[in-house]
Every structure is written in C-alpha cells, then in structure tokens.
Amino acid sequence: MSTEKEKELAAKAAIKYIEDGMTIGLGTGSTAAHMITALAEEVAKGLNIVGIPSSESTKKLALANGIPLTDFANISAIDINIDGTDEFDPYLQLIKGGGGALLREKILAFNSKLNIIIADCHKQVSRLGKFKLPIETIPFATPILIKKLRIMNLHPILREKDNSPFITDEGNYILDLDITHISNVAQLENTLKQLPGIVETGLFLDIADIVIIGRGDTTEVFKR
Ligand SMILES: O=C(CO)[C@H](O)[C@H](O)COP(=O)(O)O
C-alpha cells in the first residue's frame, strides 16, 4: 500500500467524526488535501458544514472543491480541526510546519474543541526530532535569532524557496532547527517562545486529541 493511500485512509476515517452544522478547521499539506477532497464529496451530498482554512493554499483548494469557508470574525470556536503532522510521538506530541503553515495551524488547533491529526504510518516516531523543528520568525529579527540559536546548538537553517527566503502566509521566515539532542521539548518550547522575534514554533504539545494513521490497508487510532 502506498504512502499516499495511507494518507487517504486516515483522512477518510477522520471525516467520519464530522456532524451536520459543525465548523471544521482545515489543515495544510498533502494529507490534509486528501481530507479536503473527501469532505468536499460529503458537502456535495448535502453535509452542512463551514471550513476555516489554515493557509492560503488550503483556502484555494477548499474553494475549488466547493467547501464553504468562514473566518474568526464569524465564529468563536472550531468544532473539529483536522490536520496533518510531520512527526508524532507516543504521547501524541507533534512536530508540524513542514509546509510552513505552522502559525495559522496552531491558531486553529488552539481554538478547536477537538483536534484530529491524520498521517501515514511513517510519521510515527519514538522520540521527536528526526524531522527538523520549524519555527516562524519575524524577518527583522531573523539574523540575530540565527546567531542566538547557533550558540544554543540548534543549528538553525533559513528555509528557502527559489534561492530566496521562504515567506509564510503571515509574511515571516522559517528557521529549521536540529533538536536531536533535546530531551525536554516542553522546556525548549518555553525557551524559544521567550525570544522576541520568534512568532511560533512547530512543537504542538498537548494539542492532539486523536491521531489517525494509515498503515498498509488499515487505520490505527491513538487517543490522548
Ligand atoms: O504542518 C504541516 C504544514 O505546515 C503539515 O501538516 C505537515 O507538514 C505534514 O504534511 P504532509 O501531510 O504533506 O506530510
């Protein structure tokens, strides 16, 4: 079974949690794209939901598939947020932001009653850190942050696209950090959030309620 098929299986299992009248957080990435396609099929059959997208690319995809959208001016909470991940550990702690949408993704997740994470089985790790930790930084502060993060042994790498800095939907930069030597990610999160100029990190700690993965031709569900 292909990785893509595993993503699709997880995505289809997640949309079974959705009920009529709900507001749904729409994640970003290739796994979330499967969820958007599957959700669009239900909307076409009459399911009455509104989506709130976590990125401009997801917004485009959702609109192209006929999913009605809303924003935080119109709602106070999201019923279910469904998003992908780059890694999850046995405690359902996550590293996200491979697609560069971590800031809006975390805002959606924080304001959701239920967070469902969908993935292929290769995202499961015994310990976070094989995937480099993305953090979103303000361009003005990025050069000094790079110096500070180097001293902290986090080996920051400025993410690039077409030989220029990758720009997020909020106009910021992404630094990818090596956290392989870090054992206490909660402490790291606190330390990073105290540095002015770091807008958000890709550590999603105590956020996922349910992780659904595709493994071969079946799904596995992990609950917090
Ligand atoms: O955090 C994300 C984007 O910022 C994605 O959810 C994450 O990168 C996983 O992507 P994919 O489903 O394509 O593997």
Burial of 39: CB neighbours in 10 Å, binned 0-12, 13-18, 19+ = buried
Q: Ligand 1: distance of its center to the CA of 4 in Å? A: 13
pLDDT for position 205: 98
> Average pLDDT in the 17-26 region?
98
pLDDT for position 65: 98
Q: What is the pLDDT of residues 25-48, one digit of tens each?
A: 999 999 999 999 999 999 999 999
Of 55, 86, 115, 207, the residue with max ligand 1 atoms within 8 A of its CB, to mutate for a pocket test, comes to 86
For residues 174, 175, 181, 186, the Cα torsion angle rounded to the nearest 10 degrees is -50
Q: Ligand 1: distance of its center to the CA of 100 in Å? A: 8
Task: Report whether pLDDT(19) > 70.
Answer: yes
Model-level pTM? 0.97
Task: Report whether pLDDT(147) > 80.
Answer: yes
CA of 29, closest atom in ligand 1:
13
Distance CA(104)–CA(41), nearest Å, equals 25
Task: Report whether pLDDT(169) > 70.
Answer: yes
Phi, psi dihedral angles at 204 (to 5 degrees):
-110, 90
Cβ of 31 less than 6 Å from ligand 1: yes
Q: Is 96 annotated as a binding residue?
A: yes
Q: Is 83 annotated as a binding residue?
A: yes
Of 31, 120, 204, the residue with max ligand 1 atoms within 8 A of its CB, to mutate for a pocket test, comes to 31
Distance CA(7)–CA(14), nearest Å, equals 11
> Average pLDDT in the 36-64 region?
98
Q: What is the ipTM of this complex?
A: 0.98
Task: Report whether pLDDT(1) > 90.
Answer: no
Nearest-5° angle of CA 8, CA 9, CA 14?
Answer: 95
Cβ of 51 less than 6 Å from ligand 1: no
Give me the domains of the chain, ranges plus CATH numbers: 3-125+205-217 (3.40.50.1360), 133-201 (3.30.70.260)
Q: What is the pLDDT of residues 93-124, one digit of tens each?
A: 999 999 999 999 999 999 999 999 999 999 99
Q: What is the mean pLDDT of the chain?
A: 98
